[in-house]
Amino acid sequence: MSAMAQTLLSASLFLLIYCAKIKPGQGLGAGMTEETREVRGRIPKDLKIAFEIACARLEVTQTAALEDAIKDWLKKQESASGGK
């Protein structure tokens, strides 16, 4: 398997795992009550499709899934750096 394919597979699994952790009604989602900002980026087409399917299957908004994934990623970075 090529390095690109491995990266895509890892990223897809990462997002699917985070989507699976989120239950309907979690996260800020549609009824956001705090000030928000838009986040933009580009990801491979296959990863985007996998994310959309996972969110739809789990009845989770993409906003809620991304918010939780970013929070978890930040916690991971903090613990890896020793809270610096």
Give the chain as a DSSP string: --HHHHHHHHHHHHHHHHHHHPPTT-SSGGG--S----------HHHHHHHHHHHHHHT--HHHHHHHHHHHHHHHHHHHTT--
Taking a C-beta distance cutoff of 8 angstroms, is the pair 62, 29 a contact? no
Q: Considering the domain boundaries, does residue 35 fall inside one?
A: no
pLDDT of 19 reads 59
pLDDT of 2 reads 73
Q: Considering the domain boundaries, does residue 37 fall inside one?
A: no
Q: Considering the domain boundaries, does residue 71 fall inside one?
A: yes
pLDDT of 28 reads 44
Question: Which residue stretches of the chain have pLDDT < 70?
Answer: 1, 4-33, 83-84
Q: Considering the domain boundaries, does residue 20 fall inside one?
A: no
Q: Say how many C-beta atoms besides its own lie within 10 A of residue 19's C-beta.
A: 24
Q: Considering the domain boundaries, does residue 17 fall inside one?
A: no
pLDDT of 15 reads 67
Structural domains of the chain, count: 1
CATH number for the domain that contains residue 75? 1.10.1220
Q: Considering the domain boundaries, does residue 10 fall inside one?
A: no
